[in-house]
């Protein structure tokens, strides 16, 4: 199972996510880096394991307040040129098409940013597209067709349970199992609540292909040896 570190960006800095309450997100304080600068934090994470892929949420773009494009460009130019799964609130066909053409960038189509299924249906066969099914505390956010029509899904999809992010309460196994059952041969990526090695083992037993992780890396709950045992 692949482990993918998370970089949540706001105002050009990495912030610590807390259960989807984005107004409360503050610049991260982590023993892995001396600042919240995105490249410094990514380098610190690579000190735990030579991660080749990162998930990046441009929170300013998602909320329509600007962009962290320059920070994302700096991340893409790091040594080893990591792959970046980027959710930048894509809701426009032209912007999504441009992002899909960038080498090493894998745009994440967040359900919370969609008005309907038009963009997903248009781009679902592109090998770099990732769909994120976004669940907040009040349930699924986005057009129901994105959740209820597996025939629209691309080859990779994230099950994003934002109420679990930073909560240390464990992943939402029931939701993940239900979506995994409908996903066929697609790769399902778990996001939110991963605490430790036991959680990763449970996800692996469900057939989950990858997990987005953040807090458990920064607080040392997942050790380099445990990361190496799961990461590939």
pLDDT tens for each residue of the chain, 232 residues long: 899 999 999 999 999 877 656 667 789 999 999 999 999 999 999 999 999 999 999 999 999 999 999 999 999 999 999 999 999 999 999 999 999 999 999 999 999 999 999 999 999 999 999 999 999 888 999 999 999 999 999 999 999 997 756 556 788 999 999 999 999 999 999 998 898 999 999 999 999 999 999 999 999 999 999 999 887 6
Beta bridge partners of 156: 130, 187
What is the Cα–Cα distance from 67 to 78, expressed in whole angstroms?
20
Domain annotation for the chain: domains and CATH numbers: 2-230 (3.20.20.70)
What is the Cα–Cα distance from 97 to 150, expressed in whole angstroms?
22
Give the count of beta carbons closer than 10 Å to the beta carbon of residue 127. 9
pTM of the model: 0.94
């Amino acid at each position: 199972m692949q482990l993918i570190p998370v970089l949540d960006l706001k105002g050009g800095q990495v912030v610590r996510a807390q259960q989807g309450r984005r107004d409360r997100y503050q610049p991260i304080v982590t023993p892995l880096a001396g600042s919240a600068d995105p490249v410094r934090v990514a380098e610190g994470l690579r000190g735990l394991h030579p991660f080749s892929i990162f998930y990046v949420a441009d929170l300013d773009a998602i909320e329509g307040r600007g962009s962290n494009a320059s920070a994302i460009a700096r991340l893409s130019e790091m040594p080893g040129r990591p792959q970046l799964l980027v959710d930048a609130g894509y809701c426009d066909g032209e912007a999504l098409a441009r992002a899909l053409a960038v080498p090493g960038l894998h745009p994440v189509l967040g359900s919370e940013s969609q008005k309907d299924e038009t963009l997903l249906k248009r781009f679902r066969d592109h090998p770099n597209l990732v769909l994120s099914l976004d669940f907040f505390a009040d349930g699924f956010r986005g057009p129901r067709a994105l959740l209820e029509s597996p025939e629209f899904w691309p080859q990779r999809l994230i099950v994003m349970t934002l109420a679990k992010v930073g909560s240390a309460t464990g992943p939402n196994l029931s939701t993940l199992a239900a979506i995994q059952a409908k996903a066929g041969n697609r790769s399902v990526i778990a996001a939110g609540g991963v605490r430790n090695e036991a959680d990763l083992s449970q996800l692996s037993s469900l057939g989950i292909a990858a997990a987005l992780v953040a807090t458990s890396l920064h607080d040392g709950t997942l050790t380099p040896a445990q990361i190496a045992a799961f990461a590939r």
